[in-house]
Amino acid sequence: MLYHWLKNIIKALTSKYFFRRSFIFIMRKSSDVISLQEKLYQLIYQQIHSGKLKQGDKLPSENEFAKKYQVSRVTVRKALQKLVDEKLIVKKHGLGAFVSQPSPTESLVTGGSFSDSVKQVGRHPSTKIISFKETVYDFNDNTFLNGANVYQIDRLRIVDNTPVIYEIDYFPTDYTFVKTGDFLSHSFFKGIEKYLNLIPNNFEEYFQIFYANQAMASHLEVRSGSPVMEVTQVVNDKNGTPIYVNKQYIDSSKYIYAVKHSK
């Protein structure tokens, strides 16, 4: 009798019906996880679009979301990533997630001016001097400074409190005025107009992808090796005479560089 009872149990466990039931159970568990992820995504999405969460607002941490809504951190992470993919929020390394703000766009309309581009979207521009040194321009990129002694000025361009561009400017060493505090603390364009009586209004630009080294990545608050857009810009006067060269390394997830063409 015990033998027949065990036989029936084994038969039931190995039946197609049992496996079908198990499969359905697993699928339901999976869909439950997706549903929680979607629900959290919709909740945050609605808070952003209703204005409850405003541009620049910091979102709770993954742990805070998980604890508040009784979900796993994996579920929270996937919901937030969907919002990142849709550019509704941005993640800042070591700081958390924030509701996205309009990206400043630098273009010919703003005269290539970082400050003007940022102010046009109602945000605050600032600049931090990282270093100043005399060196040799040895990029071999066919600019007028190839092989020349230059002053190199490394700057960090910031929108509100977010670093967006690591910029390196190269000036001929006969421009001794670039060493003065007056020049370094103001717009370089205005300083050139003041000290050289020249107006920068003509640009030659070269674009390529650059992978941020550790020092640059630290300043831009991105991971080392992250791709950034390198813009090499030869700044000329109205007659096409070159004045200086700068190289901008742009985190294009935060700042847009636009070039307009016409025929």
Per DSSP, the residues of 35-83 read HHHHHHHHHHHHHHHHTSSPTTPBPPPHHHHHHHHT--HHHHHHHHHHH
Count of structural domains, the chain: 2
Query: Are 257 and 233 in contact, with CB atoms under 8 Å apart?
Result: no
Query: Which CATH number does the domain housing residue 179 bear?
Result: 3.40.1410.10
Could you tell me if 136 and 200 lie in one domain?
yes
**Helices and strands (H and E) in the chain: how many:** 8, 10
Residue 134 lies in a domain: yes
Domain end residue (candidates: 99, 129, 148) = 99
Residue 62 lies in a domain: yes
The reported pLDDT for the residue numbered 259 is: 65
* Residue 26, domain extent: 21-99
Per-residue pLDDT tens digits for 14-65: 454 444 444 333 333 444 445 788 889 889 988 887 888 888 889 999 999 9
Could you tell me if 71 and 151 lie in one domain?
no
The SS3 call for residue 212 is coil
Could you tell me if 116 and 141 lie in one domain?
yes
Q: Which among 86, 62, 89, 64 is positioned nearest to 76, based on CA atoms?
A: 62
Residue 1 lies in a domain: no
Residue 119 lies in a domain: yes
Could you tell me if 139 and 237 lie in one domain?
yes
| CA–CA distance, 21 with 30 (Å, rounded to integer) | 14
For range 192-201, the mean pLDDT: 91
pTM: 0.62
| CA–CA distance, 90 with 162 (Å, rounded to integer) | 11
Residue 130 lies in a domain: yes
Residue 14 lies in a domain: no
Could you tell me if 30 and 77 lie in one domain?
yes
Tell which wins on pLDDT, 108 or 246.
246
Residue 11 lies in a domain: no
Per-residue pLDDT tens digits for 97-141: 998 876 665 554 445 577 777 787 777 889 999 999 999 999 888
